[in-house]
Structures are given as C-alpha cells and as structure tokens.
Amino acid sequence: AAGVIQSPRHLIKEKRETATLKCYPIPRHDTVYWYQQGPGQDPQFLISFYEKMQSDKGSIPDRFSAQQFSDYHSELNMSSLELGDSALYFCASSPLAGVDTQYFGPGTRLTVL
Amino acid sequence: DAKTTQPPSMDCAEGRAANLPCNHSTISGNEYVYWYRQIHSQGPQYIIHGLKNNETNEMASLIITEDRKSSTLILPHATLRDTAVYYCIVMGWSGGGADGLTFGKGTHLIIQP
C-alpha cells in the first residue's frame, strides 16, 4: 500500500539558512500534519491542514510556515535556522471524512550546523 | 484532551503476550483512546484505537475498563520487531478537523530473546 512520502530524507544546513521540507500524503488523504522530534524527545505537533486550509496549530515557531497545495502535498518552510532546529520532522496524513487515524511518513532528518 | 500515564519501560520475553497499561482517569465521554508506536527513529505507527468497547485488529487488542479510566494494549505474541516506544493518546473526535496528536512519554517496550 502507498505510504506518506517525505523529501528530502536528510538535509544539512548552516545557521541562518532556510530549508523546505516536502510531504506527499497517501492518495485520497486530504489532511496533513507536521511534527518535530528533537534528539531524545517525543514527537511534538507543529501544524495541520485540512482541505488546504490550516486546521490546528501546535508549538510551531514564527520562523516556520507551512501550506498545503491543490494536489494535497504540503511544504514546511523554515527560515533563520538555529542549532535547536536540528530534529526529525515527520509528516502524517489522514483520510477523508474526518477520520483521525494518522499515518506517518519516514521523516526528514534536518541537521543545522 | 485527557492526560495519560504510562510506565516508562517494560520487558517481555519473545513469544509471550506483552500487556502495556495506560491510565487516563480524566477521560471524557467523547474521547477515544489511541495507541501508536515508534520503532527507533522511524515514523510513529498507528496500532489501534477504541472508545468504550474492546477492539482487536491484526496487530493488537485493546482492552478498555468499564469506567474508561484505564486501558491495556495487548500484543499477543511479541517478537523482537515489537521493541519500540508505545504511546497511549487520548483525543476527542475532531468532527472532521485535523487535531494534532499530543505524545506523552510513552512506554519503552523491550522484547527479550
């Protein structure tokens, strides 16, 4: 079965640079979620989109922004990167009709030097 | 969403049933109990969820007490590949929205050969 696709899988950036992470949900899933997992920590919810509109917001820094496009893929844009942004970033998707079960992608490992 | 309490770690012998407890004494009537797991650095994986009745799928069984204040996830025949952090998450029905999951500390289940 098709899964959530995230790209790139690994990304290395310098401090103060910008980064863009992409997420392609499972086909026919209209809802996308972003999570951040720092080293040794549990995943933390950042933001979600339902039918291309922002739905829920967690502890997403103001330096981060995200959007969902007409084909339902989503991008997480991070600017003025800091060392503390080094983390695993997971995207999840859920199917139509408000079903809440979330299916996670393999993650993007971001390293900020 | 109600808070959950899980033991930080548990051991289980391979081939035996693994029983993972979760306390959620402040759960309200419209909140579901979800279980996810995360194998080291992989994306969290949905296991099972329930409202008040016991549930079973190909991965596990979920037993919810009659007062709904606690639940137990049962992996009937644990294998080494079941070693992971298991998260019990309580959340209300989003009604078609896209609420983010709140991951607590979870239980690190270690399957011993």
What confidence tens digit (pLDDT) does each residue in B60-75 have? 999 999 999 999 999 9
- H or E element in which residue A104 lies: strand A103-104
The residues that bridge with A10 in the sheet, in sequence order, are A109
Q: Quote the CA–CA distance of B85 and B47 in Å, as a whole number.
A: 12
Q: Which among A45, A50, A98 has the least Cβ separation from residue B101?
A: A45
A55 φψ region: left (φ > 0), alpha (ψ -120 to 50), beta (else): alpha
Residue A110: CA count within 13 A, CB half-sphere? 30
Q: Which among B34, B44, B93 has the least Cβ separation from residue A43?
A: B44
What pLDDT, on the 0 to 100 scale, is given for residue B2? 65
What pLDDT, on the 0 to 100 scale, is given for residue A56? 87
What pLDDT, on the 0 to 100 scale, is given for residue A51? 85
Q: Which residue is listed with tokens 């490992």?
A: A109
Q: Quote the CA–CA distance of A78 and A62 in Å, as a whole number.
A: 9
Q: Kindly state whether B94 is in contact with chain A, defined as any CB-CB distance less than 8 angstroms.
A: yes
Local confidence band at B95 (pLDDT 50, 70, 90 cut-offs): low
What is the chain A residue with the closest CA to B97? A98
